[in-house]
Copies of this chain bind each other. A is one copy, B any other.
Amino acid sequence: MASVTIYDVANRAGVSIKTVSRVMNAEPNVRPATREKVEAAAEALGYSPNLSARSLAGSKSFVLTVFVDASLTLEHWAGERGADYLSRVQYGSTLSCREGGYHLMLELIDHDAPRVRQEVNGLLAALKPDGVILTPPSSDNEIVLDILKKSGTPFVRLGPEQDLPGGLCMRLDDRGAAREMTRLLIGLGHTRIGFVMGDPLWGSSRARRAGFMAAMAEAGLKVDPALIQVGAYTYESGQQAGKALLALPERPTAIFASSDDMALGCLAAADEAGLSVPGDVSVAGFDDSTASRFSRPSLTTVRQPLVEMATSAAKALISGQVPADCDRDASLDHVDAFKLIERQSTAPPAKAKVRRGGR
């Protein structure tokens, strides 16, 4: 079955291909009667414009690309847990793409390979996407950001952790979320709460700490400086921070670690110290990572509204609201809502225990 082209439609409607093109692209300056004739011809012939031809001739490709980390993604796919993060991103962006007549391509990036630059360059040259949605760790990969900027491809960074120039950023309200989580702990009855901060170089780390401090202040609780530990968003740093907090003469009854990985480290530290969670100490995290759901105990944490973020990201890219060359000053930060996920790792503080006789 030979495919029907713009010429077939033009012939049948008795107009030039340029007019057909106008109608297909919903451009103005077509008489209603002409428009109808063309639409009828296209419908009768079952005509759909060839994406490749449009892309080659025009300035739009009708393709959006999502960059995900290759090894992370393959691991998640292989790991039978279902790729939860990715599913949510696909959900949101696919929704917007369908609405806008766009197509989504998922591309796995080898962030650690020496040839990332070539890989990403090749991808852009081959696909010419109208926009790219970056997921961590792409969102913070300077090589990827650099290539994207040089190529003039608009992009959105999902959940970026660093304050790098360029692109539209979609992240949750770090300060607000940290404040809410702290309020939750305070509401449970905790007054002596330890805080594990992420890398201070990152804006999100400072924002989360600010939220913690704000909640403590509004509750009239003083924050002992010894209760604030600085980590690096890693499991190990969290474990170290947790160890330090739990070794304090006056132990905190709750720890708010500002990333799930660090919170998981705190869980390990509690275990080492022979303390039960949440019996002896509550632990809260931040991110709603997959690990947070499967840890023992499962982690109370903050969830990013990923579906909504991905929906807006794709929408922004499709509508061309993201300038290709937007630098730090021009960058619009899109702050989304968030959701507290209460799981097993938090509880009211233990009452003063009745000490049974030594064993």
Contacts and interface: CB of A to CB of B under 8 A. Distances in A.
Interface of A: 1, 3-4, 46-53, 55-56, 61, 74, 76-78, 80-84, 86-88, 90-91, 94-95, 98, 103-108, 118, 121-123, 125-128, 150-152, 307
Nearest to A110: B98
B125 A106 contact: no
A227 to B, nearest CB: 34
A95 B71 CA distance: 12
A49 B81 CA distance: 37
A107 to B, nearest CB: 8
Contacts of A152: 1
Nearest to A1: B150
7 contacts: A1-B150, A46-B121, A48-B126, A50-B125, A77-B94, A82-B82, A103-B127
Of A1, A82, A104, A150, chain B has the most CB atoms within 10 Å of the CB of A82
A78 B105 contact: no
A86 B51 CA distance: 25
Contacts of A125: 3-4, 46-50
Contact of A103 (B4, B83, B105, B121): B105
Contacts of A81: 82
Contacts of A122: 46, 48
Nearest to A95: B74
Contacts of A95: 74
A77 B48 contact: no
A83 B87 contact: yes
Contacts of A123: 48
A91 B105 contact: no
A55 B127 CA distance: 11
A51 B103 contact: no
Given A3-B128, A82-B84, 12 more contacts: A50-B56, A51-B127, A51-B128, A52-B52, A52-B56, A52-B128, A77-B90, A78-B91, A78-B307, A82-B82, A87-B87, A103-B127
A96 to B, nearest CB: 13
A91 B77 contact: yes
A231 to B, nearest CB: 29
Nearest to A46: B121
Of A48, A74, A76, A118, chain B has the most CB atoms within 10 Å of the CB of A48
A143 to B, nearest CB: 13
Contacts of A49: 125-126
Contacts of A83: 82, 87
A127 to B, nearest CB: 6
B151 A1 contact: yes
A274 B38 CA distance: 65
A99 to B, nearest CB: 12
Contacts of A46: 118, 121-122, 125
Nearest to A63: B105
User: What are the 4 tightest A-B residue pairs by CB atom distance, in nearest-first order?
Assistant: A82-B82, A77-B91, A48-B122, A48-B125
Contacts of A88: 77
Contacts of A47: 125
